[in-house]
Amino acid sequence: MRLDSPDIIDISPPIHSGIAVFPGDTPFEQTFLRRVENGDGYTLSKITSTVHLGAHTDAPSHYATNGQSIEKRKLGRYLGASQVIEVKGARGRRITPADLKEKTITAPRVLFKTLSFPNPDHWNEDFAALSADLIRLLAKSGVHLVGIDTPSIDPAEDTKLESHHAVYENDMAILEGIVLDRVEEGLYQLIALPLPIRGADATPVRAVLLR
Ligand SMILES: [Zn+2]
């Protein structure tokens, strides 16, 4: 594959101090300890951040008492055939099975394009989420990863996290915070590997789709 192949579609928002995180969560911050331009022999920086940053995957330990942390999850979940499905008009509500009436699920990973969180650097509360019924329907269709182009599969104000729990009951994986503006509906290969941070409840991923 060419280094600049147009078949590699980056679906990760750039990470920087201005990227939006859940209100109350720890924002991303980068501190430079050394800089070559200051005459130091090398540049060295450190970061502080929530692990739910940009394109990220939640671990079961984020929403269940005995849930696995991220380093224990099988990597095959985050690699392979994925279907991008566009759902229009879902801003401010959950996507339900009724929204998928006209669609056929053909891959074990489904990514929802809602365009309801249009700017990763600007928090908007009314992003689209998924219903627990939809999660169960997808699980029955053989889907083991659900992704969405918003910060969460549950609405921002929801504290019960019913869709996260439906994911847990069906041992699925979650990919949140991806950017799908320039991605058309269809089938792709997904690569979105979590970092093996021991005990972590999520990690950022570099999520890409291969055409
Ligand atoms: Zn989540």
Dihedral sign (CA 76, 144, 120, 190): positive
In the block, residue with structure tokens 């890409």: 208
C-alpha 165 to ligand 1 mean position (Å): 10
Let me know if 52 is a catalytic residue.
Answer: no
Annotated catalytic residue: which of 52, 62, 144, 164?
62
DSSP string, 23-74: TTSPPPEEEEEE-GGGT-SS-EEEEE--SS-SSEEE-GGGT-TTPPPGGGS-
* Segment-wise mean pLDDT, segments of 10 residues, the chain, 211 residues: 92 98 97 98 98 98 96 98 98 98 97 98 98 98 98 95 98 98 97 98 98 94
Would you state the pLDDT for residue 211? 94
C-alpha 190 to ligand 1 mean position (Å): 19
Ramachandran area for residue 29 (φ above 0: left; ψ -120 to 50: alpha; else beta): beta
Would you state the pLDDT for residue 137? 98
C-alpha 70 to ligand 1 mean position (Å): 13
Beta bridge partners of 145: 109, 173
C-alpha 95 to ligand 1 mean position (Å): 16
C-alpha 173 to ligand 1 mean position (Å): 10
pTM for the full model? Answer: 0.96
Q: Which residues contact 180 (CB under 8 A, 6 or more apart)?
A: 11, 84, 111, 113, 115, 149
Would you state the pLDDT for residue 1? 85
Q: Which contacts qualify for 156-162: CB closer than 8 Å, 24 or more apart?
A: 156/22, 156/125, 156/126, 156/127, 157/125, 158/129, 161/63, 162/132
C-alpha 156 to ligand 1 mean position (Å): 10
